[in-house]
Amino acid sequence: MKSTVAMHDGVTVVKVSGDLDVSDALPLRETLGLAQGEGATPVLLDLAGVGFIDSAGIGLLVSAHRRAAGAGGQFALAALTPTVARVLALTRTDRMLTVLPTVEAGVSALSPVGGVE
């Protein structure tokens, strides 16, 4: 798994590629923790390049969501692949997390410049 971090209109976008499983959850947890910081900057996780997710990956997403909510911040997912979308739907995790169709829609929704809070 690889991840990159970039800022877009006041939103930290973390782009992930590869599998999001038990062997990769810890490095991504650290990356997201740094990106979320104190919760002031919204974080969007771009999952367009993720072909597989297991329970460790789902746990990571839920933890990041809770961390953001606890700090008064925002955390969302964007550009889910069909496989990841299906797993999140089957586990009903998609009901807990904010899921947006594209990175552009995510940045627009989360941006402090013109987004919705």
What average pLDDT does this structure show over 9-27? 94
In a domain, 116, yes or no: no
Question: Does 93 reside within a domain?
Answer: yes
Domain count, the chain: 1
pLDDT, tens digit, 9 for 90 and up, residues 32-49 = 989 988 777 899 999 999
Global pTM reads 0.91
Residue 115 has pLDDT above 70, yes or no: no
Over residues 21-32, the mean pLDDT reads 91
CATH code at 60? 3.30.750.24
Q: What residue numbers bound the domain in which 12 lies?
A: 2-100
Is 17 a domain residue? Answer: yes
Edge-to-edge strands of the sheet including 43-53? 2-8, 11-20, 43-53, 75-78, 98-100
In a domain, 40, yes or no: yes
In a domain, 50, yes or no: yes
Does residue 109 lie within any of the structural domains? no
Using CA atoms, how far apart are residues 19 and 51, in angstroms rounded to an integer? Answer: 6
Token readout for 101 is 């169709």
Is 108 within the bounds of a domain? no
The more confident residue out of 89 and 39 is 89
DSSP string over 48-92 = EEEEEE-HHHHHHHHHHHHHHHHTT--EEEES--HHHHHHHHHTT
| 107, part of any domain | no
| DSSP state for residue 21 in the 8-state scheme | S
